[in-house]
Amino acid sequence: MITKMEKSYSELIALPTFEERFNYCALHGTVGAATFGSHRFMNQDFYSRPEWKCARREVILRDNGCDLGIEDREILDRIYIHHINPLTIEDLVNSSPLLFDPENLICVSHITHEAIHYGDASLLQPLFVIRRPNDTCPWKR
């Protein structure tokens, strides 16, 4: 069984804002809901394969290491590669084309990845912090 691609990178990058891209990717999952359960070893094995590492490098280069491919959102920590259409055990067992398809992959930060999977936009950090007089000097507030 080959999973049908419902969403794509081409559609994602047509969205101009980070918020729109986040909403496009959001899975609205729940904390603690296992993706692979007792088959987690399959998922971990996949991410150690040379083919994955090559695909990962290509996506990082394509997206310039930016969160959801937004130019002014450079990822300064570890870069995660998110599958826009989530993988299933069947995808791994049957070597689905979605595993390495660049149309199904996007760079994200750890925080964005967590927010996508758990549907919690409150985890996202604003691009700029709104500064106020004396906000870094607690005794002058």
Is 118 in contact with 24 (CB distance < 8 Å)? no
Q: Return the pLDDT at 101.
A: 96
Q: Return the pLDDT at 126.
A: 63
Domain regions of the chain by residue span: 9-125
| Predicted confidence (pLDDT) per residue in 63-112, tens digit | 999 999 999 999 999 999 999 998 888 888 898 999 999 999 999 999 99
Residue 32 has pLDDT above 90, yes or no: no
Tell me the pLDDT of the chain averaged across its residues.
Answer: 85
For the purposes of burial, counting CB atoms within 10 Å of the CB of 119, is it exposed (0-12), middle (13-18) or buried (19 or more)?
middle
Positive/negative CA dihedral, 14, 83, 49, 53:
positive
Q: Return the pLDDT at 136.
A: 75
H or E stretch covering 82: strand 80-83
| Predicted confidence (pLDDT) per residue in 38-58, tens digit | 666 777 888 999 999 999 999
DSSP tag of 112: H
Q: Return the pLDDT at 133.
A: 79
Q: Return the pLDDT at 125.
A: 67
Q: Return the pLDDT at 67.
A: 96
Residue 25 has pLDDT above 90, yes or no: yes
Q: Return the pLDDT at 63.
A: 98
